[in-house]
Structure 1
């Protein structure tokens, strides 16, 4: 599920409830369009998950 935060009290409140409902149902939640683009790029290139590496950005 893609849910990007927007300005305005009602939108923030709705967005919070949407994200919370998705997480409670074990659905993936993407809150950044940059992240969505990266996922689409990887999927469109048929890159295998086992060839991807996770890096800790705090290191």
Structure 2
């Protein structure tokens, strides 16, 4: 068994909805929005208030 060849660092990888872990998507959406910090923080805190953390 041979190791895989390294991929170029400039290669762009896109997440497909079926490949992405859904628990990360809601948090990443706010990071990808190009809006002021205060607006992003407000949206993030609304999500935190609406949803409860589940520890398994």
- Structure number with the bigger relative contact order (C-alpha 8 A, sep ≥ 6) is 1
TM-score, length of structure 2 as denominator length: 0.35
Task: Choose between structure 1 and 2: higher helix proportion.
Answer: 1
In terms of Rg, which structure is larger? 2
